[in-house]
Amino acid sequence: MHELALIQGILDSVNDASARQGGKVTRFKIGVGELAQFDPKLLRQLFADLTRGTPLQHAKVMIVPEKSRVRCISCGVTWDFQDLAKQLTVSDREMVHFLPELLNSCAKCPSCSKSYFEIEDGRSIRVIEVVLGA
């Protein structure tokens, strides 16, 4: 479950922001890109488990789903992940789950049939905002 390593990495980054700027974290906002296909329930559970007994225990975690948009570099058309997802097999989805850029190895642009996308939005998990209090 590589989600656990990613969530721990995010929490370390949030703690670093708190130490750097001096202040207690009151809330932080996490963006979860559609391409990585994370289970939101699992992420919530991991945040709850990994913050328990730490300085972040009482901080509010906001998890915001982010729609994925990819642009075909060849023809310039922009697609939602769902436009391309129907082309993917189970193992393709797994590959994209680990490394979202590998969408280029398994999906074709419905407009020009090329496999040369650039991810514009909703790649994977990221820290959007960290709010510190006194």
Min separation Cβ 10 and other proteins, Å: 5
Q: Looking only at residues 10 through 49 of this chain, which bind other proteins when binding is defined by CB under 8 A?
A: 10, 12-13, 16-17, 31
Q: Does 123 bind other proteins (CB under 8 A)?
A: yes
- Given a contact cutoff of 8 angstroms between Cβ atoms, the answer to whether 89 and 75 are in contact is no
Task: Give the number of C-alpha atoms closer than 13 A to the C-alpha of residue 105, restricted to the C-beta side.
Answer: 12
Min separation Cβ 51 and other proteins, Å: 15
Min separation Cβ 109 and other proteins, Å: 12
Q: Pairing mode, if any, of strands 24-33 and 60-66?
A: parallel
Contact pattern for other proteins over residues 58 through 97, marking x by CB under 8 A: ---------------x--------------------xx--
Q: Does 104 bind other proteins (CB under 8 A)?
A: yes
Min separation Cβ 54 and other proteins, Å: 16
What element of type H or E holds 29? strand 24-33
Q: Shortest CA distance to 88 belongs to which of 23, 34, 52?
A: 34
Q: Does 1 bind other proteins (CB under 8 A)?
A: yes
Q: For residues 106 and 93, what is the distance between their CA atoms, to the nearest angstrom?
A: 9
